[in-house]
Structure 1
Amino acid sequence: MRVTVIGCGYLGTTHAACLAEMGHEVLAVEIDPQRRHRLQEGHLPFYEPGLEQLLSKHTANGSLRFTDSYQEAAEFAVVHFLCVGTPQQESGLGADLTQIESAISSLAPRLRPGALIVGKCTVPVGTAEALAQRVLDMAPVPNVALAWNPEFLREGRAVDDSLRPDRLVFGVASPAAEDLLRRIYAGPIADGCPVVVTDFPTAELVKGAANAFLATKISFINAIAEVCEAAGADVRALADALGHDERIGRSFLNAGVGFGGGCLPKDIRAFVHRAGELGVEDAMSFLREVDAINQRQRQRVLDMAKSALAQVHQPRVTVLGAAFKPHSDDVRDSPALWIAGQLYLAGAEVCVHDPEAIDTARRRFPTLKYASDPLDACRDADLVLHLTEWPEYRELDPDKVGDVVARRVVIDGRNKLDDIAWREAGWEFRGIGR
């Protein structure tokens, strides 16, 4: 089929390239000329494993093109995916819908008969109903509709999540809209991907509810880690024991410095905010504590670092990791960079290493030092902080790292290093909840 993708940020670029990989002909709308030109040349403005290969493949063969023209997009296809950003409001906790409203205003007056606009971004419940009416009011032709098809991409695994999703959710108001979506996703559906067909509000709530649950699970194990430290227990073994219970599961039960990124923090805050607008804020009040635990976890690791440096004059600190998670260059709300920045403000000289996120980190925190090699980053360090669980850091030789540092002191903020190997190499080793 012919489809368009409106907005070429992380979500839109991934979705456009993967739709082309599914066999569709895709026209993507991006108004930023520099980004659009770079994408048309087959180059990603961010890092995501496997995505640039798909992008270059399909821009080269012509199945994926980019434009800044909504008129061209409206004439090109009848199915249009909305993939613009919905960031947290600058002045509050709710979602900023400016981009999605602008996209609707630009696209709806140009639609062809039978057109379907499909929302993929995360929005407050009730948004789809309002947008559907707006589309009907603005469209110059009959028989146009809106559907909601939330995304469930994990940064670092977005290509696989798009091509082999674990579920598809269709929020639709008509059988025709469902039929179009089933045709677009015919490949994954044929491979056995389950489809949940529902109404607008349920489809809108799924992503927020999923993120709220995952955030709760992470904050739960971090709260338990505090108890483990006080009691002399090991949170890793405790999490393993919990994980064998099929009602709980082991994933997302890793104590550490907490979650960040562009989705979980802002989504749970928007979820609570919208619940308040609906008059059921008390039902979601526990998510405020989930958020507070997550923020407190960063402070706890920062306090551990300051304690380890208490007797050091003009300390030098190495931070291993800048991205909020591995296999990404996304530093939005990164716990690692927050801690690095706070140590710098406290007077430490901070050098950061990350396999992919040095450039994005430098743009956010230009006052920090950066190194392209982890051993160079560790040179003369009084403290090493492991804050993003890249596989490269687990493979570091503690003896070799020990040869270049000033003091063999390490804080494993992700509980992923081999503590026995590091201690045997003469390191003072601190983990979380251990």
Structure 2
Amino acid sequence: MKLDTSTQVSLKIILPLLASIMALSPLAIDMYLPAMPILAEDLNTDMPMIQNSLSIYLLGFALGLIIFGPMADNSSRRKMVLFGISGFLIASLLLPFVTNIEQFLLLRFIQAFISSAATVVVPRTIREYYQKDTAKGLSYVSMIMMLAPMIAPSIGSILLVAHSWQLIFYVLVFYSAIVILLVMRYLPDVSRTQVNKENQVNFLGRYKIVFSNNEARLDIISSMMVSLAFFAYITAIPFVYLTVYQVSEFSFSILFGMNVFGLMLAHFINTRLVVRKGSRKMLWYGLILSIITSAGLFFVNLTGMPLSYTVLSIIPLMGSISMVAVNADALVLTKFPEQSGTATAVIGTLRFGIGAMAGPILAFYYDGSALPFAGLMFFSVLLVLICQLINWLNGKANMLPKDE
């Protein structure tokens, strides 16, 4: 499959554009977090119901990936993106007018479900540009996209003070409208006539191809477990910093930003080294660091050490698990050049699905401390290590001479 040469554009334009598409969900998730208490009051409901809107969003996104992933393998890239962002825009426009929690949850589900049609085509586009260096392209896009979760809570707080929670969703409308205009102008398309008909497979057949690859299956599980660790962080870090260590809201923003900076730095390092070292080696580098730092985080909280030790553990931990995730995803995508949309759907669905479990797991083991959070992070990374050791052992076994 080749890009339409009449619409090829510079990577200096296409990478930020792809990052802006990927940023839709982080912005939709993080910008309204400061408004949760006010939302609960305005919609006459309690905080757990408002917090459930995050799980509803993740569920909608995961289900959307299941549907739109295989479609992305044979459909027009630009049309998929425009459909997804347009649906996101309409849902965002309606959200300020809701009068009860049921309407809010329904629109959040729709917002996430339709927007997944846009994000599912991004990894395929990156793979087409970077081929065997897909991890480098994914790291570039992720590094740029990380600006969204870094600044989103602060933007949400400013908008809340300036006007109301409704303004947050109007800003999302404005943002998605700008992205639509940029997509129409700059996003290269793939003509449907360019799709190799010999490689076309039915909907379920595409999923069978992806799941039947043993090596890819272990990398997909690794990506899932990293996501469990990441969403454990997203779910627990406000409680850890604001309640357990009782830092101020301003200090929380600084600490949150430092952790996002760690993520961005890890992606930058990956872009510099992955071409020479390869995705598998970079995955192992990240995994070794994440084992050390997650064990350190668990020990720090087990022994009740001060906040500074937790901060010094989390920053490299978040960077290292992001390095594991981006290289695991790249290894999966490069195995399925004709089913990359489906592979993206599998990764995304399982990732967001298991991510939604982080909250219930942390709630079950809640003891008023940060220890359950640290334990879940450490346990998730250990499972990644087990998967990669099995992959390594299988590779060694395949290299042994076979009996004639």
Could you tell me the TM-score, scaled by structure 1's length?
0.22
Q: Counting strand residues as a fraction of each chain, which structure ranks higher?
A: 1
Could you tell me the TM-score, scaled by structure 2's length?
0.23
Larger Rg: 1
Looking at both structures, which has the greater relative contact order when contacts are Cα pairs under 8 Å and sequence separation is at least 6? 2
